[in-house]
Chains A and B, each alone.
Chain A
Amino acid sequence: MDAIVVEGLRKRYGAVRALDGVGFRVHAGELFGLLGPNGAGKSTTVKVLATLTKPDAGRAEVAGHDVVAEANAVRRAIGYVPQSSGVDRDATGRENLMLQGRIQGVGGRALEARVGELLDLLGLTDAADRVVRGYSGGMKRRLDVGLGLVHRPQVLFLDEPTTGLDPEARASMWEELERLAEGEALTILLTTHYMEEADQLADRLAIVSLGRVVVEGTPEELKRSLRGEAVEVELSDGRAAEAEGVVAALEDVLEASFEGRRLRSRVASGARAIPSILSALEAKGIGVEAVTSHRPSLDDVYLHYTGREFAAEDEAGGREDGSAAER
């Protein structure tokens, strides 16, 4: 059974087209990643699925309920951890969890027990009765996750759960999430703009760009869909365009592109291609600074499917997300 079904969602904020037909399915019990740069439409997708905003067109179901027509049924079935923490900073961690549980209809001893269990699970027991204002960023984020879990939802939405955390806090959050995904019969939809995060955590993922899903699959499938290896050549002078032509014409090279003084290519076999690339460049008198080769990463997958480099678009895309997020 699919826990989340998304079909052709469209949504505009004024002149900004946030969603342009995004669609995917998430199987029950899996951890699904939505990967894309800022402004790709990940957060808007999650807001629609969490019933915060209505799509202009398309439809979506969460835990078998339509997000527009049966919004309250969806709200009972989901936990939503927004990108920016929604904790009440003037209350204690325990109070935050208790209130969240009460408005989800859990109460009495069952709620007290659940809150105690979650505080334990998230390593917040010692801080439980302190005001959240004094929590570290990682503690606050773990409490956010706890708020989403207090009523044992079927589906948990995590919108950029590790953004803004230092590397140590991020690593421990990853551990938490892996444990969660294994344990309860929980479906998790996670958005991220970190390649390694999607690679490490997601059972399956969809790459989102400009409000649309460009490709969907397991991280391994996506990487395997790019045959061969990625070879990067750093040139010592600015003749990158000429170098691209030379390299692309080689038999061992599947595709090539350049950016600045960096030449990126995908080859069937690095061991065969690298010598021929180097000798071809040398024959033209194009100087080479460094050569690296690696198996395709999700970064290469992204580049392949969108024709753009991930980091470069991330910066350009930030503007779009900013305007959509503005109140």
Chain B
Amino acid sequence: MTIAVRHTWFMVGRQLRNLMREPIWIALLLVQPMVWLLLYGQLFKRVTNLPGGGFGTSSYITFLAPAIVIMNSFFGATWSGMAMISDLDRDVLPRFLATPVSRISLVVSQIVRSALIAVVQGVIILVVSLALGVRVHTGLFGWVVILAAAALMNSAFAGLSQGIALLVRKEATMIAIANFIGLPLFFLSSTLISIRQVPHWMQIAAKFNPVNWGVIAARQVVLRGTEWGSVGLHLALLFGLSVATAAFATWTFRAYQRTI
């Protein structure tokens, strides 16, 4: 176990070092979340005035900010398998497999790297939100909850993305699948708009949508009247999903090993 943790740490270090060497990537990682926040924040500014309400606040940016943290984390996760495909394409994995490296660390490190980046981006979004006047109702602990929700959201889908990457092993297919999964789940959630404002069937669908679980948990701590039971439940659901998708990714890794 300690070996697996050490090796995961080495592998995460490798990926982050490589990432930090690409200035364009750092810029994109920092700017992209803010574009989401400012663009959507302005575009739908008046939406809180809709009859029927359900926003819990008259400030749309306050409603939106925690959900943007989740959304950003979710989309980042759907793409995280690309790094695995690049390692497969360049035969980095076979080289590692001829060493005593912990097999599970090769998969888990990809998920951890993806979740770490999501958390860093989450911090940036929250700091900018603070400057835009968003106040987290439950204070510092609320911040921690939002970042935890972002991390769990990310690992849940990063596990799925790694698994798909190991199954398809082709960039183009990976991109198609990421889009196919990403956009519907995003629009079937209450990220941009109060759940009370969407058609009934969408409300039902949202209940089973992991993206919405994350949005609910993160938003509850920002707005007044936080239901901690609901926050805990949705975080637990995301945790369960993370375990399941990590297991899926590990299983696909074994399948890949059999093809060498």
Contact B10 A103 (CB under 8 A): yes
Residues of A within 8 A of B95 (CB): 80, 82, 86-87, 147
Residue A10 lies at the interface, judged by CB distance under 8 Å to chain B: no
How many residues of chain A have a CB within 8 Å of chain B?
Answer: 29
Mask for A81-96, Cβ within 8 A of B = 1, else 0? Answer: 0101111111100010
Q: How far is the CA of A99 from the CA of B10 in the complex (A)?
A: 7
Residue of B nearest to A71 (CB): B100
User: Which residue of B21, B101, B260 is within 8 Å of A53 (Cβ)?
Assistant: B260
Residue of B nearest to A144 (CB): B95
Contact B14 A95 (CB under 8 A): yes
User: Which residue of A72, A78, A327 is within 8 Å of B169 (Cβ)?
Assistant: A327
Q: How far is the CA of A88 from the CA of B11 in the complex (A)?
A: 12
Contact A88 B94 (CB under 8 A): no
Q: How far is the CA of A51 from the CA of B7 in the complex (A)?
A: 19
Residue A183 lies at the interface, judged by CB distance under 8 Å to chain B: no
Q: Tally the A-B contacts, defined by beta carbons under 8 Å.
A: 69
Residue A59 lies at the interface, judged by CB distance under 8 Å to chain B: no
Residue B98 lies at the interface, judged by CB distance under 8 Å to chain A: yes
Q: How far is the CA of A106 from the CA of B170 in the complex (A)?
A: 34
One of B26-34, B84-92, B186-194, B223-231 at the interface: B84-92
Residue B2 lies at the interface, judged by CB distance under 8 Å to chain A: no
Q: How far is the CA of A52 from the CA of B99 in the complex (A)?
A: 9
Residue of B nearest to A86 (CB): B95
Taking A82-B91, A86-B90 as contacts, is the C-beta distance between A47 and B260 under 8 angstroms?
Answer: yes
Residue B200 lies at the interface, judged by CB distance under 8 Å to chain A: no
Taking A52-B94, A99-B10, A327-B169 as contacts, is the C-beta distance between A90 and B18 under 8 angstroms?
Answer: yes
Residues of B within 8 A of A99 (CB): 10, 13-14
Contact B91 A95 (CB under 8 A): no
Q: State the majority secondary structure of interface residues on B.
A: helix
Residues of B within 8 A of A84 (CB): 91
User: Which residue of B91, B97, B100 is within 8 Å of A76 (Cβ)?
Assistant: B100
B interface bracket (residues with beta carbon within 8 Å of A): 20 to 34
Residues of B within 8 A of A103 (CB): 7, 10, 96, 99-101
Contact B17 A91 (CB under 8 A): yes
Residues of B within 8 A of A51 (CB): 97-98
Contact A88 B88 (CB under 8 A): no
Residue A104 lies at the interface, judged by CB distance under 8 Å to chain B: yes
Contact A104 B100 (CB under 8 A): yes
Restricting to B73-121, which residues have a CB under 8 Å from any CB of A? 88, 90-101
Contact A75 B100 (CB under 8 A): yes
Residue A102 lies at the interface, judged by CB distance under 8 Å to chain B: yes
Q: How far is the CA of A75 from the CA of B259 in the complex (A)?
A: 19
Residues of A within 8 A of B96 (CB): 86, 103
Instruction: Return B103 CB to nearest CB of chain A, in Å.
Output: 11
What are 30 A-B contacts with C-beta separation under 8 Å? A50-B98, A51-B97, A52-B260, A75-B98, A75-B100, A76-B100, A82-B91, A82-B95, A82-B98, A85-B90, A86-B91, A86-B92, A86-B96, A87-B92, A87-B95, A90-B21, A91-B14, A95-B17, A99-B10, A99-B14, A100-B99, A102-B10, A103-B10, A103-B101, A105-B100, A131-B21, A327-B169, A327-B256, A327-B259, A327-B260
Nearest 6 pairs of A and B residues by beta carbon = A86-B95, A80-B98, A90-B18, A103-B101, A50-B98, A75-B100
Contacts A90-B22, A103-B10, A104-B100 aside, 13 further interface pairs with beta carbons under 8 A come to A52-B260, A75-B99, A85-B91, A86-B90, A86-B91, A91-B17, A95-B17, A99-B10, A100-B99, A103-B100, A147-B95, A327-B256, A327-B260
